[in-house]
Chains A and B, each alone.
Chain A
Amino acid sequence: EDKVVQSPLSLVVHEGDTVTLNCSYEVTNFRSLLWYKQEKKAPTFLFMLTSSGIEKKSGRLSSILDKKELFSILNITATQTGDSAIYLCAVGGSNYKLTFGKGTLLTVNP
């Protein structure tokens, strides 16, 4: 059975801090790893990673995948209160079915 483990489960920081969210996985027929941000109900897409060692970057957010060690990290620099959300890691396996982790609840205090 495919498995995705995220850590930490929750994190409280102050505006301006840098955070690193972790995601490790076990999946057969790995195709991709995705990060989503969930603020209310609908998860919104952040990144999709398919190749090891390549960093994806969008503004203050960046992510990297290590296919050998089976993990990914999501970095957020200079955090803002608007970054407060649940960050979901998902791995795409057979049939591109996504298996999600439990998420990391990030709270950014002013």
Chain B
Amino acid sequence: EAGVAQSPRYKIIEKRQSVAFWCNPISGHATLYWYQQILGQGPKLLIQFQNNGVVDDSQLPKDRFSAERLKGVDSTLKIQPAKLEDSAVYLCASSSSRDVGRYTFGSGTRLTVV
């Protein structure tokens, strides 16, 4: 099966600019997650979708971050405006209803805010 696709692979922007990341999960995976991984730390959950509904966005900084999964398939994560501390790798993961706890991760997007 094809893996989780993410784009772009890398992005460099200036602070206060906006940026968007895209994720296409494994076909048939109902649950999609966005994680933020700052250098030297483990991934931190930003938002969890079940189909096109939000299950958990308690750690999403909603004043600047937004995410959507309109048709229950692919998803976009946006940051506007970006801050220096947003520099991180943004990982998308998905899981199936048959194997809910086991995530498959995409290759991630490395964001550098200068």
Contact = CB atoms under 8 A, between A and B. Distances in A.
Interface string B44-69: 11001000000110000000000000
B45 A98 contact: yes
Contact of B100 (A90, A96, A99, A103): A96
A58 to B, nearest CB: 14
Contact of B43 (A6, A43, A45): A43
Q: Is the interface of A mostly helix, strand, loop or mixed?
A: strand
Given A34-B103, A88-B43, A97-B45, 18 more contacts: A40-B107, A41-B89, A41-B107, A42-B105, A42-B106, A42-B107, A43-B91, A43-B105, A90-B42, A96-B31, A97-B55, A98-B101, A98-B103, A100-B42, A100-B44, A101-B42, A102-B40, A102-B42
